[in-house]
Every structure is written in C-alpha cells, then in structure tokens.
Copies of this chain bind each other. A is one copy, B any other.
Amino acid sequence: MSTELPAWPAEVDLDRGRAYLRDMLRVRRFEEKAAEVYQAGHIHGFLHLYIGEEAVAAGALPELRAEDAVFATYREHGHALLRGVSAGAIMAEMYGKAEGCSRGRGGSMHLFDAARRFYGGSAIVSGALPMAVGLALADKLLGVPGLAACFFGEGAMAEGAFHESLNLAALWHLPVLFICENNLYAMGTALAVSHARTDLAARAASYGLAAEAVDGMDVLAVAQAVAHATRAIREGLGPHFIECRTYRFRAHSMFDPELYRSKEEIEAWKARDPITTFAARLRAHGWLDDGAMAALEAEVAGEVAAAVAFAEAGSPEPVAALLEDVYA
C-alpha cells in the first residue's frame, strides 16, 4: 500500500463523504453488537458477519434507487440496513420476534423488506442470481425503470447457477448488476482452491458483459464503479459485473475455528480497514475531526442500542401462528 492518499473525487461533497463513513460505521457497530448478543444467547442459528467488507455495501447501495431491487446472501445485515430496513427490525428478526422484518420466520439469513424491494437474505450459495435475472426480466417486460442488484461471494461463482444467470442476463440484455464480494474465501476454501482462473472480472467478461474489478476496501472506488455501472444499465447497455476485492475480518460464521488462514494475513488486511482508512482520508481532507467522529460514534451507538432494546421488547410469535405464511 502506498501511504499517499488518492485524490478526493470532486463529486463527493462533505455530506456524502460523512454519509459513507456513517454507513460503514453503522454496519460495523451493528455487527459487533450482533456477535455480542449471539454470544449472550439471544440469537441462534448461523450468524455471518460483514465486518471488514463494509465498503462494498456502503459504496454500492446509495447508488440504487427505490425502483431497483436488491438480492443478497446470508451475510446481508449490512445490505438490509443500508437499504433502509431499520436496525430494530433486523435485530428483532435475529431475536426471532414478531416485530422482525420477516416476522421471526427468517432469522439472520433471511431478512426481507418487500416495500424496499429488498428480496433477501438467501442462504443457498448462488441461489439468488437466477431470481435477480428474472426480476430484471420483469422490469424489462413491464417496461418499468429499475434494475436488479445481486450481491454474492466469489465462492458462488463456481456454481452452475452463476454461469446460467450470467449467460441469461447477457443473452437477454437485462438490467442486472452483479456484485461479487470477493473476500478471498468461501468458508475455508481460498479463491485459488475454488477457481482455476482467479481473475473473476475476466471470467465474467467471457459471457459478453461489461465487467471490472475494484478495490472493495475503498468505499469511494466501489461507489464510483457502481455509479458508472448503474448509469450504463439504466441507459439500456445490459448487465454489468463488478468484482469488489475485500476481506472478511471475522470467522465465516460463529462456528469457524479459522484453521485455513494465518493471523498475519488477517492483520495485513486489517491494516486496510475500510473504516479507519476512509476516516483518515476524511480527516486529511479536513472533513472529520475527533469531535465529529465521537459524535458519529455516539449516534451509531444509540441506533444500535435502540435496536437491541426494540428487539428485546418485541413479542415472540405465538405457536398458534405456526402454519401461517405457507400459502399466499
């Protein structure tokens, strides 16, 4: 890493710059709290944290509009939050409460908010890609504006569903934004153990769609790439693929002893923490000082605390409601 900071992009003003920081911090603190309450026994099942990868969601989601649809994975708390689902509704979902954004049916891996066109929360790796293609097809056939953004890990690219989806999107020229969160591991399987060809953007481009790779630890780089891609998609130029090169700082889930990577590797990536590096840039640019940072932290802490309080105050779904929501 060079110690010299890249030039500040002109289109990012003070508000936007601070908003990126706030978004990343909201995700980080939310995830930390989730881990804490999980350890305390309030959340169960699987819990996959996004810590380290915040720049991807924080860079991407502001570029999406209300009419766009979002599909994500089981590592999606941050995406839901930044799409506008309240921290309380997410936390309550993880507590399994009726006030949760999926009424306690889904849990951590299945956050939904149809009003915000946030369609999950999908726990079969690569399972959402074909749906994103279909949603974009609906937009196209209905003649409405909007695109379908789909987040997935680099591990998912080995699945047949990835292949079929990219071909369909390119073949039918659909408004789909594929965002690959390449955090270098699929559980314990490193990129090079999964993929014969590790240049993922090149692989995607082979389907005949626009594809590029960006530094997924740099929120501005992600934002810029997504802005460019969404503009192209909205202009009718067809699907677009962005590989965001990032890293997960925590274990895959709460059950992972992390035998497959070294402490040194993790530390090296932590030195590129998307939040601290971005905060440093804001400071260097004169848009952040200790006071502003403390205020931001306090604001975010308040939001997270309120979310926990909301979740704890929530009510469990009655067992009598067991058979609800099976058929529409």
Which positions in A face B, CB cutoff 8 Å? Answer: 158-164, 166-167, 170-171, 193-197, 202-203, 206-209
Contacts and interface: CB of A to CB of B under 8 A. Distances in A.
14 contacts: A158-B164, A158-B167, A160-B161, A163-B164, A167-B196, A170-B197, A171-B193, A171-B195, A196-B208, A197-B207, A202-B206, A203-B206, A203-B207, A206-B206
Contacts of A166: 196
Q: Which of A162, A194, A202, A206 has the most CB of B within 10 A?
A: A206
A241 B222 CA distance: 36
What is the total number of copies of this protein in its complex?
A: 2
Contacts of A162: 163
Contacts of A163: 160, 162-164
A263 to B, nearest CB: 27
A166 B157 CA distance: 13
A249 to B, nearest CB: 27
Contacts of A196: 166-167, 170-171, 207-209
Contacts of A171: 193-196
Contact of A160 (B159, B203, B207): B159
Contacts of A161: 160
Contacts of A209: 196
A193 B160 CA distance: 19
A39 to B, nearest CB: 37
Nearest to A196: B170
Contacts of A206: 197, 202-203, 206
